Amino acid sequence: MDPMSQFLTGPRAQAAFALRVVMDPPFCIDVQDRAALTVIIAIRGQAWIAVEGGEPCPLRPGQAATVRGPAPYSVTDKPGRAPTVVIDAGQSCRTPAGEHLELTMSHGLRTWGNSPSGQTVLLIGTYQSSAAAGQLVASGLPVFAVFDEHDTDPALRKVLERELTHFGLGQAAALDRVLDLLLLHLVRVAADRADGIAPGWAAGTRDPVVARALALLHELPSAPWTVAELARRAHVSRATMAARFHTAVGQPPMAYLTQWRLALAADRLASSTATTAVIAEEVGYSNAFTFSAAFSRVYGTSPTGYRRSPHAPKMQASGTLTNEAKT
């Protein structure tokens, strides 16, 4: 199972934050929510998006943008505008002076902004957890990317807008699925682009030798893989496998395997009551001690500490600007 498929079946595919934003100029939304990944679609009007340290980029109707966290970014009607709204962790919103805006900027079902019929309409979906397989999915995208209208599926855009504006049974689950499909589509587009994609698992799928190795690692992460065995399965030399994998993915095969195993383990910790020893064996570690040491090096906490952490994907981010607040 590749990172995208793991993401779609894992806990981060649940309870994503989705919102229809309606704004009239002047506006500048300073987003400091530290979310793992945000998808923005322009429906009407024009907005400019600027990621910290980057140049502002326009987003026109039909275009989509993805922003990888946790760095802040801004959404504004024109470059250089001073912030008028600040979005903090948990999706709480305020003025730069600290005045809360949750109620004054709420306009019914999942709709938020400074005008109920704003000139600019954006659809925003945010995956708030920064954990595990979600990071691997995000690594298939640049820190900031804009996708033209022909790069996005108009049917998905329409379904997303309909679900955001019409209440129905199972709406939250439907929004999750639509956002997941939209994200999958954009990651595929990014991977298929001729240039501009950063090294990572998505870039690796464009090299048939590396793609074969990735498929093996994803399918059987607990197997005792070596570079030599991956090379044998792909019918190339060990040196060729090592070089091509590192070039495409940005790290050696065994380093990627460790990352993938720990990502799967983080999912299991967040979504099950399985013991550390059981999870360690499932992802290919010989004992719980070795697994715990590796997990702590990467995530900065023990498996038990991670499971209790509010950042674990089974936990929904807290805050006043929740999906429920829009209903």
Tens digits of per-residue pLDDT, 69-116? 888 999 999 999 999 999 998 788 999 999 998 888 988 778 899 998
Please state the domain count of the chain: 2
Task: Tell me: do 207 and 189 sit in the same domain.
Answer: no
Structure confidence by residue, pLDDT tens digits, 278-300: 999 999 999 999 999 999 999 89
**Pairwise CA distance, residues 202 & 319, whole Å:** 33
What CATH number does residue 18 fall under?
A: 2.60.120.280
Question: Which residue, of 136, 170, 196, is where some domain finishes?
Answer: 196
Q: How many Cβ atoms are within 10 Å of 107's Cβ, its own excluded?
A: 18
Residue linked to tokens 């802040």: 72
Task: Tell me: do 192 and 205 sit in the same domain.
Answer: no
Q: In which band, very low, low, confident or very high, does the pLDDT at 153 lie, cut at 50, 70 and 90?
A: confident
Per-residue pLDDT at 199: 75
Is 314 part of a structural domain of the chain? no
Kindly tell me if the per-residue pLDDT of 35 is higher than 60.
yes
Task: Tell me: do 10 and 51 sit in the same domain.
Answer: yes
Per-residue pLDDT at 10: 59
Range of the domain at 271: 201-308
Task: Tell me: do 153 and 253 sit in the same domain.
Answer: no
Let me know: does 59 contact 65? Beta carbons within 8 Å: yes
Is 326 part of a structural domain of the chain? no
Ranked by mean pLDDT, the top range of 50-59, 224-233, 269-278, 307-316 is 224-233
Task: Tell me: do 92 and 173 sit in the same domain.
Answer: yes
Structure confidence by residue, pLDDT tens digits, 225-257: 999 999 999 999 999 999 999 999 999 999 999
Kindly tell me if the per-residue pLDDT of 3 is higher than 60.
yes
DSSP SS3 for 161: helix
Is 318 part of a structural domain of the chain? no
Task: Tell me: do 31 and 160 sit in the same domain.
Answer: yes
**Pairwise CA distance, residues 65 & 189, whole Å:** 12
Mean pLDDT (whole number) for 209-235:
96
Task: Tell me: do 43 and 142 sit in the same domain.
Answer: yes
Is 321 part of a structural domain of the chain? no
Are β-strands 28-31 and 85-87 bridged in parallel, bridged antiparallel, or unpaired?
Answer: parallel
Is 280 part of a structural domain of the chain? yes
Per-residue pLDDT at 141: 78
